[in-house]
Amino acid sequence: MKFLGLSIVSALLVLAGCTVVVDDRGPPPPPRDRDQACLAVYDPVCGERRGERSTYGNACEAERDRARIIHPGECRRQPPAPTACTREYNPVCGERNGQTQTYGNACVAEAERARILYSGECRTSRPERPGRQPVACPMIYDPVCGRVGRRTQTFGNSCEANAAGAEIVNRGECRPRG
């Protein structure tokens, strides 16, 4: 009997030492899946994923793509940093948006995001107009914006613009439209 009593007391002590932990937080939310359905509501956010910024239609679409939301609204383009170029006239022929143009120097061409084709002024493939004599212009870089037909382009100086038969629109380089 003594053994039975001791066994019961031992069992009660073991049971008293046991605790039950109750987790009342509920089940964890299901992981967001790429197949998650998002409302077709345009409330743009700027998100970043793998170092690339993109505008998403709404926060749900950004989260579905696992992008980190940077700010509400569309992503803003970062303007290119201005480039400081010398006024040295060392012409290069460059191409930008399918048009060839003479730039005052390589720095100016690169600042305008033009691909440099070769050193020197652009050569025209058009034959000279009858009665026009070639003009020798000084190699001074004092840019002017000139119009030939419907196209505007920057000339190294007013002499070059006049030699090309351009109407001078304004002093300084032509400003890009946009």
170 domain residue, yes or no: no
Q: Domain containing 65 — which CATH number?
A: 3.30.60
19-23, 62-66, 68-72, range with the lowest pLDDT: 19-23
Q: What digits encode the pLDDT tens for the residues 101-154?
A: 999 999 988 888 888 889 888 887 554 555 556 778 888 889 999 988 888 899
The highest-confidence range among 18-22, 24-28, 52-56, by mean pLDDT, is: 52-56
The burial of 42, by beta-carbon neighbours within 10 Å (0-12 exposed, 13-18 middle, 19 or more buried), is given as: exposed
45 domain residue, yes or no: yes
The highest-confidence range among 13-27, 74-88, 159-173, by mean pLDDT, is: 159-173
29 domain residue, yes or no: no
| pLDDT at 33 exceeding the cut of 60 | no
| pLDDT at 47 exceeding the cut of 80 | yes
pLDDT tier at 76 (50, 70, 90 boundaries)? confident
* Rounded average pLDDT over 85-112: 88
73 domain residue, yes or no: yes
pLDDT number for residue 58: 94
**Contacts for 11 with CB less than 8 Å, ≥ 6 apart:** none
Q: How many domains does the chain have?
A: 1
3-class secondary structure for the chain? CHHHHHHHHHHHHHHHHCCCCCCCCCCCCCCCCCCCCCCCCCCCEEEEECCEEEEECCHHHHHHCCCEEEEECCCCCCCCCCCCCCCCCCCEEEEECCEEEEECCHHHHHHCCCEEEEECCCCCCCCCCCCCCCCCCCCCCCCEEEEECCEEEEECCHHHHHHCCCEEEEECCCCCCC
108 domain residue, yes or no: no
| pLDDT at 5 exceeding the cut of 70 | no
| pLDDT at 61 exceeding the cut of 80 | yes
pTM beyond 0.85: the answer is no
65 domain residue, yes or no: yes
pLDDT number for residue 18: 62
Which residues span the domain enclosing 69? Answer: 40-78
61 domain residue, yes or no: yes
Cα–Cα dist 70/78, whole Å: 14
115 domain residue, yes or no: no
62, two tokens: 């950004």
